[in-house]
């Protein structure tokens, strides 16, 4: 398992990885309509856009992309950042891939230059982020209108 920065030619494979993960892993917490809408939004063009405004990474093994994640500024702030687009292929979950992604993102300059880092977490991934040291933002331990938890970590 290796991790590297995202390259433009990764966009379609990352989008496919996200679709597979959402359909298999997140299906127990979200409706089919919600998931399919999100998949339409996280198309290759959107992945390319995100990669231009964040530091985007992919995890690969035997030539296959098995995970991804990004870190970037929290809105226009210079002392806060946010984790984005963290996904692990269902076949590789619970094998240390997600931890490797978070460790990589937490060594990135966006994270290191921040006093606070936020992550919009799916219901499905909330326990994972909490194990990684993220806490509910302002004690808000219920999903918001977007059906996401807002978690944060102070440095």
d(CA 24, CA 119): 21
Residue ranges of the chain whose pLDDT lies below 50: none
* Residue 80 bridge partners (DSSP): 116
pLDDT digits (tens, 9 = 90+) for 66-106: 999 999 999 989 999 999 999 999 999 999 999 999 999 99
- Name the packing angle between helices 44-53 and 11-25 (round to 10°): 110
Helix (H) or strand (E) holding 148: strand 148-154
Q: What is the pLDDT of residue 139?
A: 73
* Residue 69 bridge partners (DSSP): 57
Q: What is the pLDDT of residue 111?
A: 98
Q: What is the pLDDT of residue 49?
A: 97
151 contacts 117 by C-beta, under 8 angstroms: no
Q: Within 13 A of 113's CA, how many CA atoms are on the CB side?
A: 11
Three-class secondary structure assignment of 64-112: EEEEEEEEEECCCCCCEEEEEEEEECHHHCCCCHHHHHHHHHCCCHHHH
Backbone angles phi, psi at 52, to 5 degrees: -80, -20
What are the structural domains of the chain?
2-154 (3.40.630.30)
Q: Is the pTM of this model over 0.85?
A: yes
């Amino acid at each position: 398992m290796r991790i590297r920065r995202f390259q433009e030619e990764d966009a379609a494979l990352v989008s496919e990885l996200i679709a597979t993960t959402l359909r298999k892993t997140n299906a127990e917490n979200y409706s089919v309509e919600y998931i399919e809408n999100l998949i339409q939004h996280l198309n290759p063009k959107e992945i390319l856009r995100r990669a231009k405004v964040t530091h985007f990474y992919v995890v690969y093994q035997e030539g296959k992309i098995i995970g991804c994640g990004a870190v970037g500024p929290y809105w226009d702030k210079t002392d806060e950042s946010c984790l984005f687009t963290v996904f692990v292929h269902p076949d590789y979950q619970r094998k240390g891939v997600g931890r490797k992604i978070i460790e990589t993102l937490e060594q990135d300059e966006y994270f290191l230059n921040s006093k606070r880092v936020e992550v919009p977490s799916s219901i499905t991934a909330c326990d994972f982020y909490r194990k990684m040291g993220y806490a509910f933002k302002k004690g808000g331990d219920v999903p918001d209108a977007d059906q996401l938890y807002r978690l944060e970590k102070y440095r």
